Amino acid sequence: MANVAFLGLGVMGAPMAGHLVRAGHSVTVYNRTAAKAQAWAARHGGATAPTPAQAASGADFVMACLGNDDDLRGVCTGPDGAFAGMARGAVFVDHTTVSASVTRDLAAIAAQSGISFVDAPVSGGQAGAENGQLVVMCGGDAAAYARAEPVIAAYAKLCKRLGESGAGQLTKMVNQICIAGVVQGLAEALNFAERAGLDGREVVEVIGGGAAGSWQMVNRYQTMLDDHFEHGFAVDWMRKDLGICLAAANETGTSLPMTAMVDQFYKDVQNMGGGRWDTSALFKRMRKLNG
């Protein structure tokens, strides 16, 4: 078993850190809001630290699940950052969805201190984190990944290295591009069914077992039809992720017309007051457009 620090105890990080404790690892947590870290420790029995550097001191692995590029950079660098507390040979595993460029920058900074950096964004949402069923897509040094994979297994149903530093983040971008298109397609389809006088539930019962079936259809069609969106992966976070995708596409000269369009549809949802609604709220937008 390993000494592990976990930085960031949001809806994803808190259950992930809990799985590490249940797997037998010694876990120290840090959260920007100290009360949240203390509440987590009271529930799971782990330790807390007032700074990322102190949490990382003595850790074999430092896991992070934060908000964005700036959050990650702030937690990693500086006198109180995780890198300052990590020993040579330790491995930093980043589960945040961020740009590949910040990943490569931080990996280079870490390497100067003999620290390995594995980018390891996740898919599966809050339910996947709570149930220990996340898909983890990784980039970075192969040897460091091999060391980290058994620890990540505490909350993953699938974990795979896709290449060197940044490959995990690029794969997560592919994941988000796919989701954006599927959710918009499902929103349009269910709206069409309603407008045509069909029972959406019966329609999904028929088509869900065929080529049209998807995770989004299975897990979101009922809540979409029930006009329930106070759950799941927030629109605000999806727009952040799609912004990363579109910026990377601009850098590589790749055309993402569907992604750009759906990103604007999510902007419409934000303007409806739905920034914290689940990404399936694209259906609510469709209903509004059609009266």
Instruction: Give catalytic status of residue 157 as yes or no.
Output: no
User: At residue 105, what is the residue type?
Assistant: D
Among 36, 172, 240, 284, the active-site one is 172
Residue tagged 């850190």 (tokens): 17
**Rounded Cα gap, residues 48 and 254, in angstroms:** 44
Q: Quick check: 8 and 29 in contact, CB under 8 A? A: no
Burial pattern 74-84, b for ≥16 Cβ within 10 A else e, equals ebbbeeebbbb
- Distance from C-alpha of 100 to C-alpha of 165, rounded to nearest angstrom: 8
Structure tokens at 241: 């992720």
Catalytically active residues are 172
